[in-house]
Amino acid sequence: MKKFKYLSLLIVLSIMGCSELEEKPVGLLTPATYFTSLDKVQLAINGAYGHMTHRYFMSRELSMSLMLASDMVDLNPNVTNPERVQFSNVNVQADNANIAVYWPKCYQIIGAANEAIAGASYVQADAAEKNKVVAQAYFVRAFVYFHLVRQFGAIPYLDAPVTDVQAAGKIGKTPVAEVYAKIIADLQFAKEWLPNTQTSRALPAKSAASSFLASVYLTMGQYDSANYQKAYDEVKDIVSKESIYNLGLEADFQNLFDYSKVDASKEPIFVIDFIGSSDGDQGRDYLAAFTGIRADEQYGYGGGWSVLVPSLNVYNSWNNLDYRKAVSFDATGVFKGVRQPYQTFTTYFAAGDNRPHIAKYTRKAGPAADGNGRTTKSNYLMMRYAEVLLIGAEAANEVGQTGDAETWLNRVRARARAGAAGSTPSAFPANVSGLSKDNFRMTVLEDRKWELAFEFSRWYDIARRKMAEAPYNVFGTSGLEGTKAGYLASRNYLFPLPANELVRNPNLLPQNTGY
């Protein structure tokens, strides 16, 4: 953790122009001498946003791990990288190379947020004006810790810049309940001070803080069912403020994954926005390459790498009448100018994979500056309004608010039925009504599986609902990927703490159960 002491300062320096330093030499640059205005605080926050577009976060290592650990995304059998195979088999080891890089990246983002929050204390400005700026940092910190606590359970919780490196190297783990309490406090602060809307959905507004609060409460329902009421109340509030927050469902599902249209949509609530340029792995979108079809000519990328490929059962079990299936999959590719079915993909590249591929990150991702679709202009959807409605539907069902549960779920289903703009609406998926509490729960989890397919949420659903056990049995013989023999119930749906961190800091012991 030694690097964290200087991390955010380096972020700020990388953003500042050299001319500014030359014109105003300050000698030793410290937080007190650097943070002289709220603009400088915003620069530190921008550094945190920038880290989110690095390959070690949602662009590659973290997103890949979440997708493979679920029952929705399989691994091309030609891929033998141990860190990927382990996640695909749900048999992750403590020295997993993906975790080894995305764990510190998460703490780098947190470190940048902490520097911004602390830096604001040096600025002479109205308290309310400062709060409006640092609320972004509180949101960012909560957003990243929410990922970490769901994956690892008890974790080190840092809420201030590291000033004593030796002490930081001996920090212990914070209990799960306490981490969640701090996440909630950060999101509540963000909700209070963020604006109703932002100029870009890559910047959090009140709706983002409120939506993640709802998601946090829904997740915490596994510990205390009273949290379902809190999740329901949060969604009820968001829905009542649709016009204030400028929210709504995008009429055409495909537009959510069209770089030329998504920025104008009301549905995205918080996104990681790739802009089509990068500095090495910083700012580079990798998912087009990892999910694209090998040697495919249809999008001008030179084809993808066919690494993350859903099992055939995912494709076959998805109703053909559901428009979301057509948007989410490419079942054909173009080779030597001719469109060919997925059964022939390896004819044109032996290391390809004869299964339909994910299309959300390739079909409408825009031009790419680098080969294989790297560095597109995709927006990775971290939260969108359809998910808010599904959170609300699930929570409403748990607290007996059947009317709202059905209404919110049916809004999402109605959009799916509508299909592409100008097309004839489908009869599927039909509205739901009159289901028992248990059957509705199963239904809304299925709807989350299809609506949010390949958007990094499925593993978290599996973990919080303990879906490897009955009645779901997602890793059993009837699961979409068949039996995942590496799954161990004793691990309680947690990944291992990174082995190298435990070596450096024994206070993080014991390792998570089962590792």
At 44, the amino acid letter reads: A
Mean pLDDT of the chain, nearest integer: 93
Element (H, E) at 483: none
End-to-end CA distance of the chain: 23
Q: Is the pLDDT of residue 15 over 60?
A: no
Mean pLDDT of 250-279: 96
Q: How confident is the model at residue 18 (pLDDT cuts 50, 70, 90)?
A: very low
CATH number among 1.10.3720.10, 3.40.190.10, 3.40.50.1370, 1.25.40.900, domain 195-272+382-475: 1.25.40.900
The answer to whether residues 377 and 276 touch, using CB atoms and an 8 Å cutoff, is yes
Query: What confidence score (pLDDT) does residue 338 get?
Result: 98
- DSSP code of residue 272: E
Q: Is the pLDDT of residue 22 over 90?
A: no
Query: What confidence score (pLDDT) does residue 72 get?
Result: 97
List the single range of 18-27, 86-95, 189-198 with lowest mean pLDDT: 18-27
Distance CA 280, CA 59 (A): 13
Q: How confident is the model at residue 5 (pLDDT cuts 50, 70, 90)?
A: very low
Mean pLDDT of 417-431: 96
Per the structure block, which two tokens stand in for 164?
Answer: 């004593």
Query: What confidence score (pLDDT) does residue 14 get?
Result: 35
Mean pLDDT of 130-153: 98
Domains of the chain by residue range: 35-191, 195-272+382-475, 286-378
Higher-pLDDT residue of 291 and 7 is 291
Per the structure block, which two tokens stand in for 366?
Answer: 């825009």
Query: What confidence score (pLDDT) does residue 9 get?
Result: 39
Per the structure block, which two tokens stand in for 296?
Answer: 């495919």
Three-state DSSP at 493 gives: coil
Q: What are the backbone dihedrals phi and psi of residue 30, each rounded to the nearest 5 degrees, phi first?
A: -120, 165
Given this chain, do its domains 35-191 and 195-272+382-475 carry the same CATH topology? yes
Mean pLDDT of 299-315: 96
List the single range of 250-254, 279-283, 342-346 with lowest mean pLDDT: 279-283
The answer to whether residues 32 and 40 touch, using CB atoms and an 8 Å cutoff, is no
Q: What is the pLDDT of residues 76-107, one digit of tens each?
A: 999 999 999 999 999 999 999 999 999 999 99
Query: What confidence score (pLDDT) does residue 453 get?
Result: 98
Per the structure block, which two tokens stand in for 110?
Answer: 């947190």
CATH of domain 35-191: 1.25.40.390
Mean pLDDT of 262-268: 97
Distance CA 93, CA 365 (A): 34
CB-count burial class (<10 Å; 0-12, 13-18, 19+) for 91: middle
Q: What is the pLDDT of residues 425-449, one digit of tens each?
A: 999 999 999 999 999 999 999 999 9
The answer to whether residues 487 and 475 touch, using CB atoms and an 8 Å cutoff, is yes
Q: What is the pLDDT of residues 31-53, one digit of tens each?
A: 889 999 999 999 999 999 999 99
Per the structure block, which two tokens stand in for 237?
Answer: 């509030």
Percent of the chain with pLDDT over 90: 90
Query: What confidence score (pLDDT) does residue 334 get?
Result: 98
Query: What confidence score (pLDDT) does residue 23 get?
Result: 41
Q: With the CA atoms of 91, 96, 98 and 103 taken in that order, what torsion angle do they form, in degrees rounded to the nearest 10? A: 110
Q: Which residues contact 493 (CB under 8 A, 6 or more apart)?
A: 462, 463, 466, 468
pTM, full prediction: 0.94
Q: Where are the alpha helices (DSSP H) in 18-60?
A: 18-23, 31-34, 38-52
- For the chain, percent helix, then strand, then coil, each to nearest 5? 50, 5, 40
CA 252, distance to chain mean position in Å, is 22
What is the sign of the dihedral through the CA atoms of 450, 456, 457 and 461?
A: positive
Angstrom distances, CA of residue 30 to CA of 6, 120, 222, 332, 471: 10, 13, 44, 56, 56
Q: How confident is the model at residue 27 (pLDDT cuts 50, 70, 90)?
A: low
Q: Which residues contact 122 (CB under 8 A, 6 or more apart)?
A: 31, 32, 35, 36
Percent of the chain with pLDDT over 70: 95
Query: What confidence score (pLDDT) does residue 345 get?
Result: 98
The answer to whether residues 273 and 375 touch, using CB atoms and an 8 Å cutoff, is no
List the single range of 142-156, 157-171, 474-488, 495-509 with lowest mean pLDDT: 157-171
Q: Is the pLDDT of residue 274 over 80?
A: yes
Q: What is the pLDDT of residues 148-185, one digit of tens each?
A: 999 999 999 999 998 888 888 889 999 999 999 999 99
- DSSP code of residue 262: G
